[in-house]
Amino acid sequence: MTKYLLRSLVSPFFRENGGLIIFIYTMTVAIVSSQSGAGVYEYHLFLVLGAFRHAGMMATVFFLWLLYTRKFTSFVVTEIYKPENMFLHVFNYLSRIRKTGLLFLATLLLMIPVWAYVVFIVITGVQYGYTGGVCLVIGYLLLLCFLSALWLERRLQNISAGKTPVLRSVGFTSFTGTLLRYVATKQLATWTGLKIFTCGLLFLIAVNNPMRYYDGQTIFIVVSLGILGNGVLVYRCREFEELYMSFYRTMPVRTSLRFLEYALLDFILIIPEILLLILFVPKHMPLSDAVTFCLCGYSSMLLMTGITFYRQFTKSQFYKILSLVLCVQYIFLLTVGLPALYIVLTLTAIGLFRWKYYKYETLLP
């Protein structure tokens, strides 16, 4: 029974988010440490000791772990309610203690990316005499796992009770507003995590690299990776639209107006990155580069939206396409330049949308 539970709830999470987790670890270890001018060990030692010595920094770390917990808990709840996982109701015949124990094991496994770094935190804390801080860290993570298990156990009971999640009434009447409400209610943890990581990484690079050491290529790569990370939101918004709002394509609305509605959504999703790049001017970045990076990032969002209408892609296929988009961006960066990049991406996005919007069909299983 444990094997079936883990295969149904744990494995899908890592299949969908494994690439993002590897990307975060790679960027944290390879990019940030090299930009700081210190070695990998020295850089992370400084971060860990800073967390133990300053309550505000430790609170920030705890908040990030809470966001990650919220992310995988939301994912698992979605998996529980999928029709193909309705067999999970058999777990309700177990005692509540045993069922919670199995779910607690699942949350411990879902926490593996955090535990991997906590091993370093524990070793460092013990070496430098922060035993109390080490106990606090371990206790907090175990508490998160336990509370998540209780929440999932309650959701699992709803299967037998015949309850299903119902989307709350939308306070917006516009198409864009409906999708924004979906992001705010169902994808807030994902959006917040992406913004904290991307903006935090950009901030650290900017702080450690004043204007006299400015490296525009490195900043552009970080911006591009962060913007393409929003592809998970673009994909989930399209899933939501096809599930609940497919009738919108039958309404008498001009294609150009519908494209502008998607364009507004894409712009709102990356407002934090745009504001941060503007704040870097002129101390850490020239105004021309800030504007160019914003335009390239925005055109990438438009292209991701256009790609979702070409045909129905699986998550893995969509993410592979985004990796190709990143390669194209890097080629433009090294050859013809970024102004040509955002023009090409924007025109491609518009062309895909006008060509495929009314021809798109969901492939039914």
pLDDT tens for 239-284 read 888 887 777 777 777 888 888 889 999 999 998 888 888 888 778 7
Residues 294, 219: Cα–Cα separation, whole Å: 12
Domain assignment of residue 101, yes or no: yes
Domain assignment of residue 135, yes or no: yes
Same-domain status, 190 and 73: no
Domain assignment of residue 362, yes or no: no
| Residues constituting the chain | 365
Same-domain status, 265 and 155: no
In the block, residue with structure tokens 């704040």: 279
Residues 99, 307: Cα–Cα separation, whole Å: 42
Same-domain status, 84 and 196: no
* Structural domain ending residue among the three candidates 102, 134, 161: 161
Q: What residues contact residue 215 under an 8 Å CB cut-off, 6+ apart? A: 209
Three-state SS at 172: coil
DSSP 182-239: HHHHHSHHHHHHHHHHHHHHHHHHHHTS-GGG--HHHHHHHHHHHHHHTHHHHHHHHH
Domain assignment of residue 170, yes or no: no
Give the residue from 266, 289, 277, 271 showing the smallest Cα distance to 339.
Answer: 289
Same-domain status, 211 and 340: yes
Same-domain status, 205 and 294: yes
Which two tokens mark 271? 């407002």
Same-domain status, 153 and 191: no
CB contact burial 311-340 (16+ within 10 A = b; e otherwise): ebeebeebbebbeebbeebeebbeeeebee
Same-domain status, 12 and 134: yes
Give the residue from 56, 57, 42, 31 showing the smallest Cα distance to 208.
Answer: 31
State the amino acid at position 230 in one-letter form: N
Q: What is the DSSP letter of 176?
A: H
Same-domain status, 186 and 88: no
* Structural domain ending residue among the three candidates 161, 185, 214: 161
Q: What is the DSSP letter of 365?
A: -
pLDDT of residue 72: 85
* Structural domain ending residue among the three candidates 115, 131, 161: 161
Q: Apex CA 13: angle with CA 266 and CA 312, to 5°?
A: 50
Number of domains within the chain = 2
Domain assignment of residue 168, yes or no: no
Domain assignment of residue 61, yes or no: yes
pLDDT in tens, the chain (365 residues): 677 777 878 888 888 777 777 767 766 665 555 444 556 777 778 888 888 888 878 888 888 888 888 888 888 887 777 777 777 777 777 788 888 888 889 899 999 888 988 998 999 999 988 888 899 999 999 999 999 888 888 887 776 555 554 444 333 347 788 888 888 888 887 888 888 888 887 877 776 666 777 777 888 888 888 888 888 899 988 888 888 777 777 777 788 888 888 999 999 999 888 888 888 877 878 888 889 999 999 999 999 999 998 888 888 888 889 889 888 988 998 888 888 999 999 999 999 988 888 777 655 44
Q: Apex CA 121: angle with CA 116 and CA 122, to 5°?
A: 95
Same-domain status, 248 and 199: yes
Query: Do residues 160 and 92 lie in contact, with contact meaning Cβ atoms separated by under 8 Å?
Result: yes
Query: Do residues 289 and 218 lie in contact, with contact meaning Cβ atoms separated by under 8 Å?
Result: no
Which two tokens mark 87? 């067999």
Give the residue from 22, 23, 160, 148 showing the smallest Cα distance to 75.
Answer: 148
Residues 205, 277: Cα–Cα separation, whole Å: 12
pLDDT of residue 172: 38
**Domain range holding 208?**
175-356
